[in-house]
Chains A and B, each alone.
Chain A
């Protein structure tokens, strides 16, 4: 009979860019149980909505997470607009969706780099982060910042992105696509990568449904759930949209879903740039207070479905802001996937759910 011991994993650990603590109960090399402990990044950001007015809070919402930063600003702004009954111009919707898809590219490239780093594939790590700079350069030129864009305001966009710039974006993405295809093909045909990823961290279709997982984690288990199919924003204007799924249910499947999503995002951006209307970008709302009432908005973040709820009370401050992020949905799945695996596979499984702790804890 093997003896049981507990290995603390994190909050400071080389493979973790963010602090989360897991107590791994192991029997020899096999993990029997994983007990997560969170709260290292908790700031109490939702409460801040009572101290900042509804226009200022967009900037706070964007700082929920630096990776999916644009999406949080987008979600908050759309929920508040819905509550105030503001309809923003179509061009603003298009620009928001284009930037959201660019964020998805940058997030997935970043994730692939971190995953490669976790199994010691340093060259792939460096290549992915080099490619990611293309997207950051696009942000720099079109929005003026690399990470926190601060281009969304309640009622539209803070400034326009010119048609020449959008054309330039497409040219840049064309180059990115070519180089990324090369990297992805090399990676998925590599024997070592297959060895580390195939069959690891198995989550069946039923388990994924039962644990209500979202995003690429669920899509890797064959669940066809993507908020973009509901056609919010400018997604309804796309000719064809179908979520990418894979039915192999392991780490390899989840990687495949994410890698393909980057190509899908680039296609969406190219299609929207061709179709983009010219009807202004909106501006700050004339109303100085938020009416009483509540509204909720769901959008598809790089990591999956995110939910935003706002409640107004007739003053310039909102009464309540609540969000549910994809990683908090997926933590249950992570704990299930960690049961019975080898200790050496733990970093890989943690990274294939692409945890975003600062979203989860806020």
Chain B
């Protein structure tokens, strides 16, 4: 990483995480790991933030909160999914209330796996995010449209649940015992 063109501020939101990743996110800002040495400050206001750290997967209650915070942030912005739950759903992927990873709600730029994610991984992920942020800022300065600068919003946030439901119904009709899981749910995690 070279010089960053600005000191990025970050905002943290706990999706349906178990707190393990949240305290590691806070921990990476504390004196021992000290993410703040890169000029990064934790802010509570989405309008001031450049990097959005999400921990935990999205469920039916918080999906709109996650989307809302994302929409309030100014371009250019980067999303980091912290922890395996935020990446894919992790151990909770089979729970009835879990839609899946954060990329089911908003576009994710950096994935930081781990259960709980280690502060070293978070630092690495945030520095990657800063690079992406710089690149986006350059593209914006070159006159690109802010609306198309990031990845597109995922269109059908409820798709995996519906798919599974449909698959279960189909197999029930066919009389088969084994239900087919969608690809996202069978992904290996480092539990």
CB within 8 Å for A148 and B30 given contacts A17-B22, A18-B19, A356-B19: no
**Cβ of A65 under 8 Å from chain B:** yes
B10 contacts the other chain (CB 8 A): no
Residues in B with CB closer than 8 Å to A42 are 16, 59, 61, 97
Partner of B17, one of A48, A66, A130, A146: A66
Q: Is the CB of B14 within 8 A of A17?
A: yes
* Chain A binding surface, main DSSP class: loop
Q: Complex: how many Å from CA A147 to CA B122? A: 15
Q: Indicate if B62 sits at the interface (CB-CB under 8 A).
A: yes
Surface stretch bound by B, among A8-16, A214-222, A302-310: A8-16
Q: Which of B57, B91, B96 contacts A60 (CB 8 A)?
A: B91
A69 sits at the interface (CB 8 A): yes
Does A275 belong to the interface (CB within 8 Å)? no
Contact of A17 among B23, B30, B31 (CB under 8 A): B23
| B92 close to A358 (CB less than 8 A) | no
B27 within 8 A of A: yes
> Interface residue count for A (Cβ, 8 Å)?
36
Q: A129-B26, A130-B31 are in contact. Are A40 and B20 (CB under 8 A)?
A: no
Q: Are B16 and A41 in contact (CB under 8 A)?
A: yes
Are B65 and A19 in contact (CB-based, < 8 A)? yes
In Å, the complex CA distance between A285 and B119 comes to 35
B18 touches A126 (CB 8 A): no
Given A64-B18, A133-B32, are A148 and B116 neighbors across the interface (CB < 8 Å)? Answer: yes
Is there an interface contact between B94 and A51, defined as CB atoms closer than 8 Å?
yes
Knowing A59-B191, A66-B20, A146-B118, say if A130 contacts B32 (CB, 8 Å).
yes
The A-contacting residues of B in range 15-40, CB under 8 angstroms, are: 15-24, 26-27, 30-32
Q: Which residues of A contact B191 (CB under 8 A)?
A: 59
- Judged by a CB distance under 8 angstroms, whether A144 is at the interface is no
CB proximity of B155 to chain A, nearest CB, Å: 24
Known interface pairs A48-B94, A130-B32; A358-B62 also in contact (CB < 8 Å) = no
Residue picked from B18, B44, B57, B92, most chain A C-beta under 10 Å: B18
- In the bound assembly, the distance between CA atoms of A64 and B16 in angstroms comes to 10
Interface string of A50-87 (1 = CB under 8 A from B): 01000000011001111101000000000000000000
CB of A110 closer than 8 Å to a CB of B: yes
The chain A residue with its CB closest to the CB of B98 is: A43
Tell whether, in the assembled complex, residue B62 and residue A66 are in contact, meaning their CB atoms are under 8 Å apart.
no
12 additional A-B pairs beyond A13-B44, A47-B95, A67-B23, beta carbons within 8 Å, are A12-B13, A18-B14, A19-B62, A19-B65, A44-B95, A66-B19, A66-B20, A66-B21, A147-B23, A148-B116, A358-B16, A358-B19
Q: Which residues of B contact A (CB under 8 A)?
A: 13-24, 26-27, 30-32, 43-44, 46, 56-57, 59, 61-62, 65, 69, 91-92, 94-98, 115-116, 118, 191
A–B complex contacts, Cβ < 8 Å, 16 sampled: A12-B65, A12-B69, A18-B14, A41-B14, A41-B16, A44-B96, A48-B95, A63-B20, A66-B21, A66-B22, A66-B23, A129-B27, A130-B32, A133-B27, A146-B116, A358-B16
